Amino acid sequence: MSLVVKEPFLVPENGDHIMLTLTSLMLSKGLSTWQALGDDELLMKTMSLIFADNQCVFPFDYSGKRYFDCTKDGSLYSWCSLTTSYSGRWRYCTDTDFAKCVFPFIYNGQKFYKCTTAGSLLWNYWCSVTADYDRDGAWRYC
């Protein structure tokens, strides 16, 4: 079975956005490779990525910013880099790729061993996705 998706795609070499039609090709053991439909050699080279064997790397740097979680920067869908400094290798995120809580973590100089409402105006539980929130400022809701 294959899946066809139309997705605006950021071309890393020049920063342009183009509409790209992708098709997934199912391989053995649930592996899936995505290929661009068309004749453009750059797109074929860029999109010939095997997703299942490549793990998201956090944090990663992209366009001068550090990411501790999947991002939609340049895309309609969440994606991650496969290298610590984005070099064109990426994949779309799945539910299991998003940042996990890290315990214990430091917030305002204090260690937390579980989700907290500290600092939350609406009393929502949250956690840091790194060991030091004070340094990194990376968090998620629990």
What digits encode the pLDDT tens for the residues 51-90?
A: 445 789 999 999 999 999 999 998 888 999 999 999 888 8
Instruction: Judge if 114 and 127 occupy the same domain.
Output: yes
CA distance 135 to 132: 6
Under a CB-based contact definition with an 8 Å cutoff, are residues 92 and 78 in contact? Answer: yes
**CATH code, domain carrying 128:** 2.10.10.10
Range of the domain at 64: 54-98
CA angle in degrees (0–180, nearest 5) for 11-13-15? 55
Residues 6 or more apart whose CB falls under 8 angstroms from that of 45 comprise none
Total domains in the chain come to 3
Tell me the residue length of the chain.
Answer: 142
pLDDT of 40 over the 50 cut: no
pLDDT band at 101; cut points 50, 70, 90: very high
Helix (H) or strand (E) holding 33: strand 32-36
What pTM, to 2 d.p., does this model score?
0.58
